[in-house]
Amino acid sequence: MKIAIKNMVCPRCTQAVSEVFTSMAITPLDVRLGEVVLADPLTPDQQQNLQQKLNAIGFELLDDQQQQLVEKIKSIVIDHVHRLGDNRFVFTEVLPATLNKEYSQLSKLFSEKEGITIEQYVILQRMEKVKELLSYNELTLSEIAYKLGYSSVAYLSAQFKKVTGLTPSQFKKLGINLRKPIDQLMAP
């Protein structure tokens, strides 16, 4: 049995969700971004208890198939941008191949449910990764542009300014307090 969970966007999230299941004496077969696989279905009491425990730590059970698909799209993008460091991936190819759906169908659904396009979501995630890398102060802007698959520093800088209202240099001076949790990156 698969259970879809909203807001699982990082390894710490999977750990927190795993701990919830452990506290309920349930051993999942697998816990990954946005999804938990169980050997047996939950009883109604277990499901209600799970919902309460997840809500208490900022997660939510998803019953709606469309919303589950949107969460899978988000998980794939986050996984590629933040965890795998695969910023050269072509989401118009990766998403349909992974989810077995036409890109146009995925794009329309995502826009309807989230109020922004998949492309905008990818840009927001990439910009948050740029903020993270700038905060570490270990790479030059040229190295960051290359690492994130930008064709030039100028293009990265222009996109960064458009999204954040700051140049990368201004952001570095202001510091880490301007970063956002990756599960809260949406249009204002």
Is residue 38 located within the same domain as residue 69? no
Is residue 128 located within the same domain as residue 160? yes
Is residue 95 located within the same domain as residue 149? no
Q: What pLDDT, in 10s, does the model give residues 125-163?
A: 999 999 989 988 899 999 999 888 888 999 999 999 999
Q: Give me the mean pLDDT over the 166-185 stretch.
A: 71
Domain residue limits at 95 = 65-117
Q: Which residue has the tokens 């927001």?
A: 124
Q: Which tokens belong to 59?
A: 């997660």
How many Cα neighbours within 13 Å face the side chain of 107?
Answer: 12
Among the candidates 19, 34, 62, a domain finishes at 62
Find the CATH number of the domain harbouring 18.
3.30.70
Is residue 42 located within the same domain as residue 15? yes
Query: How many other C-beta atoms lie within 10 A of the C-beta of residue 142?
Result: 12
| pLDDT value for 188 | 45
Report how many domains make up the chain: 3
Residue 180 in this model has a pLDDT that exceeds 90: no
Among the candidates 15, 45, 62, a domain finishes at 62
Contacts of 138 (CB under 8 A, 6+ apart): none
Find the CATH number of the domain harbouring 173.
1.10.10.60
Is residue 58 located within the same domain as residue 69? no
Strands of the 35-37 sheet, one edge to the other:
30-32, 35-37, 2-6, 60-62
Is residue 107 located within the same domain as residue 69? yes
Is residue 69 located within the same domain as residue 56? no
Is residue 154 located within the same domain as residue 113? no
Residue 14 in this model has a pLDDT that exceeds 50: yes
| pLDDT value for 85 | 66
Q: What pLDDT, in 10s, does the model give residues 66-104?
A: 888 998 999 899 888 887 666 667 889 999 999 999 999
pTM above 0.85, yes or no: no
* Cα-to-chain-centroid distance, residue 48: 26
Q: Which residue has the tokens 């991936």?
A: 89
Residue 168 in this model has a pLDDT that exceeds 90: yes
Identify which has the larger pLDDT, 106 or 67: 106
CA neighbor of 91 nearest in space, from 173, 81, 166: 81
Is residue 94 located within the same domain as residue 143? no
In the chain, which residue ranges form alpha helices assigned H by DSSP? 11-23, 44-56, 65-78, 91-99, 103-114, 118-136, 141-147, 153-164, 168-174
Among the candidates 35, 62, 89, a domain finishes at 62
Identify which has the larger pLDDT, 13 or 64: 13
Is residue 70 located within the same domain as residue 48? no
Q: What is the DSSP letter of 178?
A: G
Q: What pLDDT, in 10s, does the model give residues 21-45?
A: 999 999 999 998 888 999 998 888 9
| pLDDT value for 31 | 92
